Chains A and B, each alone.
Chain A
């Protein structure tokens, strides 16, 4: 039990729609990061938030955006959904700060299917 919860667990959307995925981090963890895991692949870094500010981003277009709130919750928003956005989306929390060499605590993920 990592203390990181994600909702919903499964979601089906159609191409062009928008989606919001939610995460509740472990209490006391100032950093949240989001990963996309496509079938048969490892998790790929989308972005990271530290104390409500984005402080790192992977190779994802601007239609992927996020928010982090003071109560350790966060959101991942994806606009104009494409078929290739179908994947497991993982939220991970950590204590935060630098250096970044600390372990991540993952939620169970949201499985998004885009039809």
Chain B
């Protein structure tokens, strides 16, 4: 039972354009969501997070949107840069537990 889904395994975007990565979840008890970026041969690194009491959080070129009614979140990267090419994982947690649930990841390729 995949509680966190990233339905697009890969995405290619031109440098300077917007990248939109999507994530859907099924568990309404999740109240905190995070995005991680992973380069080859490295562990995932934290990118941005959002609490369920918000619908948007921005950090520089990265913005995460949360639509609780649709159980959907998205990560927007504007403008996209070649260094953004990596695998992006969304993760969710119910703060009453200790278990982050990760999606299967989306491989982003930003073309120069």
Contact = CB atoms under 8 A, between A and B. Distances in A.
Contact of A109 (B6, B43, B46, B89): B43
A4 B45 CA distance: 11
B105 A56 contact: no
Given A42-B104, A45-B100, A100 B93 contact: yes
A101 B45 contact: no
A112 interface: no
Interface of A: 2, 4, 33, 35, 40-45, 48, 55-56, 58, 90, 92, 98-101, 103-109
Most chain B CB neighbours (cut-off 10 Å) among A42, A48, A100, A104: A42
Contacts of B42: 108
B81 to A, nearest CB: 21
Nearest to B89: A42
B47 to A, nearest CB: 9
B80 interface: no
Interface string B64-103: 0000000000000000000000000101010111111111
B51 interface: yes
29 contacts: A4-B43, A40-B104, A41-B105, A42-B91, A42-B103, A42-B104, A42-B105, A43-B44, A44-B102, A45-B98, A45-B99, A45-B101, A48-B99, A56-B99, A90-B43, A99-B96, A100-B97, A101-B32, A101-B49, A101-B51, A101-B95, A103-B34, A103-B49, A104-B44, A104-B100, A105-B46, A106-B36, A106-B43, A109-B43
Interface residues of B, number: 28
Interface of B: 4, 6, 31-32, 34, 36, 41-46, 49, 51, 89, 91, 93, 95-105
A104 B46 contact: yes
Contacts of A45: 98-101
B86 to A, nearest CB: 13
B98 A55 contact: yes
A41 B5 CA distance: 11
The 4 tightest CB contacts between A and B, nearest first, are A106-B43, A42-B102, A56-B98, A101-B32
